[in-house]
Amino acid sequence: MDEGLWKDCGAFHGHTCPGLATGYRMTEIAMDFLGIPLEKAKDEELVCIAENEACGVDAVQVLLSCTPGKGNMIFRRKGKMAFTFFDRRTGKGVRVVAKPIPRDGDRQELMQRILNGPWDQFFEIKTPREGIPEKARHFDTIVCDECGEGCREDKIRLSQRRRLCPDCFDPYDRG
CATH number at residue 36: 3.30.1330.130
Mean pLDDT by 10 residues, the chain (175 residues): 91 95 96 88 90 95 93 94 95 95 83 91 94 89 96 95 95 81
CA distance 72 to 65: 8
What range does the domain containing 168 cover?
137-175
Q: What pLDDT score was predicted for residue 129?
A: 92
71 and 150 inside one domain: no
Terminal alpha carbon distance of the chain = 52
Residue type, 152: R
Contact 167, 156 (CB under 8 A): no
Nearest C-alpha neighbor of 32 from the set 85, 89, 106, 108 = 85
How many domains does the chain divide into? 2
Res 37: pLDDT = 83
pLDDT of res. 43:
84
Say what the pLDDT of residue 148 is.
Answer: 96
- How confident is the model at residue 41, as a pLDDT? 80
pLDDT of residue 101: 81
| 3-class DSSP assignment, residue 4 | helix
Which among 126, 151, 167 is the end of a domain?
126
Q: Is residue 21 domain-shared with residue 47, that is, in the same domain?
A: yes
Q: Are residues 119 and 150 in the same domain?
A: no
Residues 6+ apart with CB under 8 A from 20: 9, 10, 13, 55, 56, 58, 59
Size of the chain, expressed as the number of residues it contains: 175
Give the per-residue pLDDT at 103.
74
Q: How far apart are CA 155 and CA 175, in angstroms?
A: 22
pTM of the model: 0.83
Residue 1 confidence (pLDDT): 81
Give a three-class secondary structure readout of 147-167.
CCCEEEHHHCEEECCEEECCC
* pLDDT value of residue 106: 87
Q: Are residues 151 and 118 in the same domain?
A: no
